[in-house]
């Protein structure tokens, strides 16, 4: 491997990712170069004649090969932004997505008048929902409930990244909880909600994410049933239940909330106009 300019590496990586069918080859090429070559953000890489060492070139091209083979950009970088946070991610944990920010924003708005709201974040994964809420509402106290040890590795890293937040991990199964919990002011969750039959047709990047974090059983509703059946006893009277949902699931999740006796049920749309969050009060 030889030295190359930033411009030449950027163009090489972009072209490699274009040929591989990546959705955003220029953006991905920028991210890989900025992260792995330690370049300042916002530079015009396509015209940057800075010379990179052969070692750096090799590192960037190796990462580009991984991306061209479908590995998520977030896993390659090892971290990703969510709201104002930077969260550790990698193989074994669901990648935080902008759609999920709406869940945090809705919850923060509905809990803002409480002095010290207590919250359960079910199927916590990287901790993005609970930590995202804390970033918007620092007085919140969050218990992050996660079963997967693979995901918990990253969750622990993220808790350490933000020690000022009152958040802690509890290992438990949302489908069959083995622990008891004090009543809380809110239960939040971005659970697995993809119908099993649809998982094989997801984008190749998503195929790298843990099936455990995606598979919502035959109809995609298994975890919503478990939450309304098993977790409402841990919600205070008047408390908030708020969940992220998949496309086309609003009516079914609203029906589950109604059957569970929740009231003031509402649906919120994301920036793309998709019904993305359902809330209800006990």
Residue 41: the pLDDT is 82
The pLDDT of residue 193 is above 90:
yes
Q: Which of 30-39, 40-49, 77-86 has the lowest mean pLDDT?
A: 40-49
DSSP summary character for residue 116? S
Q: Once rounded to an integer, what is the mean pLDDT over residues 108-116?
A: 98
The pLDDT of residue 1 is above 80:
no
Which residue is it, tokens 């990462």? 63
- pTM equals 0.95
| SS3 state at 38 | coil
43: confidence class by pLDDT, cuts 50, 70, 90: confident
- Label the pairing between strands 263-269 and 235-244: unpaired
Report the C-alpha gap between 43 and 12 in whole angstroms.
17
The pLDDT of residue 140 is above 90:
yes
pLDDT in tens, 206-228: 999 999 999 999 999 999 999 99
pLDDT in tens, 159-173: 999 999 999 999 999
Residue 237: the pLDDT is 98
- Cβ atoms within 10 A of the Cβ of 12, count? 16
- Cβ atoms within 10 A of the Cβ of 137, count? 19
| SS3 state at 52 | strand
Residue 88: the pLDDT is 98
Distance of CA 33 to the CA centre of its chain: 23
What is the enclosing helix (H) or strand (E) of 54?
helix 54-68
The token pair that represents 164 in the structure block: 């000022």
Q: Which of 1-5, 149-153, 199-203, 231-235 has the lowest mean pLDDT?
A: 1-5
**Using an 8 Å Cβ cutoff, are 20 and 68 in contact?**
yes
Residues pairing with 51 in the sheet: 5
Angle, helix 98-111 to helix 128-136, in steps of 10 degrees: 50
């Amino acid at each position: 491997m030889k030295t190359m300019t930033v411009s030449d590496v950027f163009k090489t990586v972009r072209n490699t990712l274009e040929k591989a069918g990546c959705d955003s080859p220029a953006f991905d090429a920028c991210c890989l170069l900025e992260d792995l070559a330690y370049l300042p953000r916002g530079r015009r890489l396509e015209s940057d004649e800075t010379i990179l060492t052969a070692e750096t070139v090799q590192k960037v091209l190796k990462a580009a090969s991984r991306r061209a083979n479908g590995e998520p950009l977030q896993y390659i970088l090892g971290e990703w932004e969510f709201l104002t946070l930077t969260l550790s991610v990698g193989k074994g944990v669901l990648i935080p997505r902008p759609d999920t920010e709406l869940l945090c924003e809705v919850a923060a708005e509905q809990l803002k008048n409480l002095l010290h709201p207590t919250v359960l974040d079910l199927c916590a994964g990287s901790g993005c929902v609970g930590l995202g809420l804390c970033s918007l509402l620092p007085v919140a106290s969050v218990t992050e409930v996660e079963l997967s040890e693979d995901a918990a590795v990253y969750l622990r890293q993220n808790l350490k990244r933000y020690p000022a937040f009152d958040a802690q991990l509890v290992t438990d199964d949302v489908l069959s909880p083995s622990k008891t919990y004090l009543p809380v002011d809110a239960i939040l969750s971005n659970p697995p909600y993809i119908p099993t039959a649809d998982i094989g047709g997801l984008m190749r990047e998503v195929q790298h994410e843990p099936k455990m974090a995606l598979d919502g059983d035959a109809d995609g509703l298994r975890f919503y049933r478990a939450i309304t059946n098993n977790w409402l006893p841990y919600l205070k009277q008047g408390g908030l239940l708020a969940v992220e949902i998949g496309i086309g699931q609003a009516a079914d999740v609203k029906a589950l909330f109604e059957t569970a006796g929740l009231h003031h049920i509402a649906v919120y749309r994301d920036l793309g106009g998709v019904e993305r969050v359902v809330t209800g009060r006990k």
